[in-house]
Chain A
């Protein structure tokens, strides 16, 4: 309680009307603008075409909600397959990256071998290399390796941005675990492997969850690699499938597009709602370190 009052600082001196003008109204405006596209996405997904294309009536509400767009999405397009592809690719590349990152972060942070400091810096720099400058050379490699149009192309390339991020984040977590714990274990005759699996990893579980959640959303959201390396409809991921397959020439099926966007956003949104704290810790941790 004392802590809470301290946090409040001197703001309790402000009168209520003043608080409305300086805090609540701007905040409500922010929330309205940030959330409106989601409301609009959800509303459009349930609107029948007749209402979508009529200029009369109130566009901010739906008179006769319909599931037609969802039916079309799941029956007439390969949407379920895109969803499945996205899940497989995100889960596998997240686990591969996490496994590689745990070892790398532990080695850099705790084994302190020759050159570990430089490697730590190199990992940070690798995190700053954007996919937009890698996709062309990667495309030629993917083609030469015969992985074009397969899940492997994405499973193997997503770790290029996931591993640097996860390693950097886990390095911060490992740093917060006291050296003394490891020293005790070493004196008791534990091997490095035992120390890693029995002491460090259990203590770093929050870090592992943060890194995992973040990596999963990053791979779910990935677009440029998936757009470049995949061409067959049934191999696409959700973001690529929605934007390339649901638009036929100049005919935009707004209802299905919005339904596709809504359903494609749900998994990350649901996961995020369960792990908000870990997600925020991952995001701010990566920036703060």
Chain B
């Protein structure tokens, strides 16, 4: 039916490739690349909700630089990211090592462990909200009954307690992801290596230090980059648990940007806060990129 020239034209890989890329590229260019640029541009304007803004140069950033709440949110974001990521890594690796042992109901256990990660974050955060409730907290109830404390703990009401509580909820959600990904990495390490090491008299710690960690390090780099990225840009958990309070003690850059831009109406300022997150994200991505490179080299592939 089709003419010969059309057929030949469609067999050209460049033409066909372009055609196949079209739907995905169109959606991503319009709804991802363009907004990314628009967001950076909005950061240099005084746009408000319902009103396009004019160019005001670096004014938003100057204003934010002197804004103590913004500075506090940077501090909070780093504290939240670093502490949560370190705990997630340690607990995740531990859980992965446990699940890698010879266990009854192994695949069932693995399936259950991942539950916190697949359930909508907002909905599990509501469960934590109830667990952290100042009056009816089950944690406080248990501690009081055990005689460890006298009065109920106001988990989300005191700055440092609120920080610790939100980090704990974030860790609860993130550990399964880290553990299951690292478990996949652990399963690729040949048991022969451990047997050889054991015959040479290596202690379990030496085996872990000199076999497990080096073999696992490429996947650790990637998993932790993802984990850091998701933690750094977290919004849902904080929004449900504290909305940034008490006294802005748990405001992350993402929640502050939302609060200023949508309920507050200052789109330009919110966009500036969001744009300020980009350099940190780039640093994390570069880290991931070099982690991937190292993987190729370790597997005997050519360095590209």
Contact = CB atoms under 8 A, between A and B. Distances in A.
B28 interface: yes
Contact of B126 (A111, A113, A261): A261
Contacts of A207: none
Contacts of A192: 10-11, 16
A283 B191 CA distance: 24
Given A140-B38, A243-B126, A276-B111, A132 B233 contact: yes
A12 B195 CA distance: 12
Contacts of B99: 27
A221 interface: yes
A206 interface: no
B180 A284 contact: yes
A221 B120 contact: yes
Contacts of A7: 102, 191
Interface string A204-234: 0000000000000100110110011000000
Contact of B98 (A30, A156, A276): A30
Interface in B120-174: 120-124, 126-128, 130-131, 133, 136, 138, 141, 172
27 contacts: A11-B101, A26-B98, A27-B98, A27-B109, A33-B172, A34-B112, A104-B25, A108-B17, A135-B258, A137-B34, A139-B267, A141-B38, A156-B31, A160-B28, A163-B27, A223-B236, A238-B123, A239-B120, A239-B123, A242-B122, A242-B123, A260-B123, A261-B124, A261-B126, A265-B120, A268-B119, A280-B184
Interface in B203-249: 219, 222-223, 226, 229-230, 233-236, 239-240
A260 B118 CA distance: 16
Contacts of A112: 13, 17
Contacts of B177: 283
Closest 4 CB pairs of A and B: A113-B17, A107-B20, A104-B24, A130-B233
Interface of A: 6-12, 23, 26-27, 30-31, 33-35, 37-38, 40-41, 44, 52-53, 55, 59-60, 96, 99-101, 103-104, 106-108, 111-114, 116, 119, 125-126, 128-141, 156-157, 159-160, 163-164, 167, 191-192, 217, 220-221, 223-224, 227-228, 238-240, 242-243, 252, 254, 257-258, 260-262, 264-265, 268-269, 272-273, 276, 279-280, 283-284, 287-288
B66 to A, nearest CB: 22
Interface string B239-271: 110000000000000100110011000010011
B112 A31 contact: yes
B235 A128 contact: no
Contacts, number: 284
B23 interface: yes
B62 to A, nearest CB: 19
Contacts of B10: 191-192
Given A31-B113, A257-B126, A136 B271 contact: yes
B212 to A, nearest CB: 12
A180 B83 CA distance: 50
Contacts of A164: 28
A272 B235 CA distance: 24
B278 to A, nearest CB: 7
B94 interface: yes
What size tier do the contact residues of chain B reach? 35 or more
Contact of A159 (B31, B34, B103): B31
Given A223-B122, A242-B122, A288-B219, A139 B262 contact: yes
A137 B195 contact: no
Contact of A132 (B36, B107, B195, B257): B257
Interface of B: 7, 10-11, 13-14, 16-18, 20-25, 27-28, 31-32, 34-36, 38-39, 42, 47, 91, 94-95, 98-99, 101-103, 107, 109-116, 118-124, 126-128, 130-131, 133, 136, 138, 141, 172, 175-177, 180-181, 184-185, 191, 194-195, 198, 219, 222-223, 226, 229-230, 233-236, 239-240, 254, 257-258, 261-262, 267, 270-271, 274-275, 277-278, 281, 285, 288
A160 B101 contact: no
A101 B27 CA distance: 11
A126 B126 contact: no
Contacts of B39: 133-134, 136-137
A138 B21 contact: no
B262 A228 contact: yes
A104 B122 contact: no
A111 B102 contact: no
B172 to A, nearest CB: 7
Most chain B CB neighbours (cut-off 10 Å) among A9, A12, A108: A9
B21 A137 contact: no
B65 to A, nearest CB: 19
A23 B13 contact: no
Nearest to B104: A24
Given A119-B21, A224-B254, 7 more contacts: A27-B103, A35-B115, A55-B141, A134-B39, A136-B270, A159-B28, A288-B184
